[in-house]
């Protein structure tokens, strides 16, 4: 593929993700870092284009609701006065209020967009808090679809339909943009993405990093340990970015495997509108964002592009010189290429 002519115009790294105009594609992904306002300010000073908050899980909501109801009901019948003193459960604003408060605090502390994240398994769990998150001032909402299908009686079609129904319900209830964070384990990801787009999703995030449990042979225990990502994890994301960006009009972000500016360039060429960074910041500190932005500008310029938008999608399934490399056609060739 011929490269565009080199230009002396300053490199434009701006992008648009979920209708949000960003000066560059580097977003701080969902992590506990957003729980500290001083860290949030340092990340903004280092150049963060936006923040994704860590997920609010439906289990947290249910647990807090159950605890509050227990506290109420355990005292209602002890004294006759209690029946009038305690309001009905429906009158309480149940749930982790601190999450909503943190949205307001971050919005007041920084000038860049704040994307909330919600992880639920039922339509009601998503809907109620999606509305509250919007009211708290979030600029967009990421629906974090973290669901491990272990029921042998539940089909893949049923799993997909439930998620599509959730997206449709949430989109009808709120006005802010909605992205869906997916796992790579759906049997027909391209078909599923089409269904999510039809349901009203504004974007996709590829992919959720499931933290796999390990087995301790000495203690005979299942252990969960956090392993930060590395650049090798980007390859699966690049493949599906290239496929889906050629098929859908959705804004697609990559999450997982972006540690260098070269990683970001690969993601953008495959079709990413933004890249979420977590592990690289945890390893190198907030200042790594400034390094990534500077290096991205240098690489884009060296490749002969005047802007990031010129580069966007140039290597996706519809535009790359060898589309078969993203599909089955390259499978046998790769397997036979290894030599001892």
Model confidence pLDDT, tens digit, residues 130-141: 999 999 999 999
pLDDT at 129: 86
CA 20 to chain centre: 15
Highest mean pLDDT among 160-169, 208-217, 286-295: 286-295
Lowest mean pLDDT among 84-98, 211-225, 273-287, 299-313: 84-98
Confidence of residue 122 (pLDDT cuts 50, 70, 90): low
Q: Nearest CA to 27 among 323, 310, 289, 291?
A: 289
Specify the DSSP element, H or E, that contains 225. Answer: none
CA 289 to chain centre: 18
Q: Cβ(258)–Cβ(14) under 8 Å? A: no
312: region left, alpha or beta (phi > 0 left; psi from -120 to 50 alpha): beta
CB-side exposure of 233: number of CA atoms within 13 Å?
A: 20
Q: What is the DSSP letter of 90?
A: G
Would you list the DSSP string of 12-68? B--EEETTEEESSSEEE-SSGGGG-HHHHHHHHHTT-S-EEPPPEEHHHHHHHHHHH
User: Residue range 106-129: average pLDDT?
Assistant: 86
pLDDT at 149: 77
pLDDT at 57: 78
* Length of the chain (residues): 340
User: Residue range 238-245: average pLDDT?
Assistant: 96
Structure tokens at 303: 């490749």
| Confidence (pTM) | 0.84
Higher pLDDT, 251 or 74: 251
pLDDT at 8: 56
pLDDT in tens, 184-195: 988 899 999 999
Residues of the chain with pLDDT > 90, as a percent, come to 60
**pLDDT beyond 50 at 105:** yes
Structure tokens at 174: 């709120």
Lowest mean pLDDT among 20-24, 41-45, 120-124: 120-124
Q: Could you tell me which residues come within 8 angstroms of residue 313 by beta carbon, excluding any fewer than 6 positions away? A: 245, 246, 269, 270, 271, 319
Lowest mean pLDDT among 86-90, 106-110, 233-237, 278-282: 86-90
Alpha helices in the chain (DSSP H): 37-45, 58-76, 82-85, 97-109, 123-135, 156-173, 189-198, 234-245, 261-270, 279-284, 288-302, 308-311, 331-335
Longest CA pairwise span in the chain (Å): 83
Q: Nearest CA to 18 among 190, 183, 176, 197?
A: 176
Q: What is the DSSP letter of 151?
A: -
pLDDT at 337: 72
**Average predicted confidence (pLDDT) for the chain:** 85
pLDDT at 68: 42
Domains, the chain, ordered by start: 15-335 (3.20.20.70)
**pLDDT beyond 70 at 107:** yes
Q: Cβ(232)–Cβ(281) under 8 Å? A: no
Q: Can you tell me whether residue 226 is helix, strand or coil?
A: coil
**pLDDT beyond 50 at 313:** yes
Strands 26-28 and 20-22: unpaired
CB-side exposure of 129: number of CA atoms within 13 Å?
A: 33
pLDDT at 1: 53
Residue with tokens 């495997």: 257
pLDDT in tens, 265-303: 999 999 999 999 999 999 999 999 999 999 999 999 999
Q: What span, in angstroms and rounded, lies between the C-alpha atoms of 82 and 73?
A: 10
**pLDDT beyond 60 at 76:** no
Structure tokens at 173: 């209830």
Q: Could you tell me which residues come within 8 angstroms of residue 219 by beta carbon, excluding any fewer than 6 positions away? A: none
Higher pLDDT, 225 or 63: 225
User: Residue range 310-321: average pLDDT?
Assistant: 91
pLDDT at 136: 96
């Amino acid at each position: 593929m011929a490269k565009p002519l080199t230009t002396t115009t300053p490199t434009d790294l701006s992008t648009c993700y979920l209708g949000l105009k960003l000066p560059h594609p580097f977003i701080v992904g969902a992590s506990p870092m957003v729980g500290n306002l001083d860290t949030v300010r340092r990340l903004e000073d280092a150049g963060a284009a936006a923040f994704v908050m860590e997920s609010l899980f439906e289990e947290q909501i249910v647990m807090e609701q159950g605890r509050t109801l227990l506290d109420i009901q355990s005292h209602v019948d002890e004294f006759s006065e209690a029946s009038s003193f305690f309001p009905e459960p429906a009158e309480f604003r149940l749930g982790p209020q601190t999450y909503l408060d943190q949205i307001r605090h971050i919005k007041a502390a920084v000038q860049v967009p704040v994307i909330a994240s919600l992880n639920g398994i039922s339509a009601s769990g998503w809907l109620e808090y999606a509305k509250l998150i919007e009211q708290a001032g979030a600029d967009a909402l990421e629906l974090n679809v973290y669901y491990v299908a272990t029921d042998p009686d539940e089909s893949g079609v049923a799993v997909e339909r439930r998620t599509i129904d959730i997206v449709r319900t949430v989109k009808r209830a709120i006005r802010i943009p909605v992205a869906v964070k997916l796992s790579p384990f759906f049997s027909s990801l391209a078909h599923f993405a089409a269904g999510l787009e039809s349901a009203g999703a504004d974007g996709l995030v590829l992919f959720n990093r499931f933290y796999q449990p390990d087995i301790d042979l000495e203690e005979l225990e299942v252990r969960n340990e956090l392993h930060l990502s590395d650049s090798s994890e980007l390859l699966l994301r690049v493949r599906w970015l290239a496929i889906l960006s050629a098929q859908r009009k959705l804004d697609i972000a990559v999450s997982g495997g972006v540690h260098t500016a070269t990683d970001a360039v690969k993601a953008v060429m495959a079709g990413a509108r933004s890249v979420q960074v977590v592990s690289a910041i945890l390893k190198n500190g907030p200042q790594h964002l400034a390094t990534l932005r500077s290096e991205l500008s240098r690489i884009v310029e060296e490749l002969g592009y005047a802007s990031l938008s010129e580069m966007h999608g140039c290597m996706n399934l519809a535009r790359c010189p060898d589309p078969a490399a993203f599909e089955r056609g390259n499978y046998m060739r790769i397997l036979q290429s290894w030599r001892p």
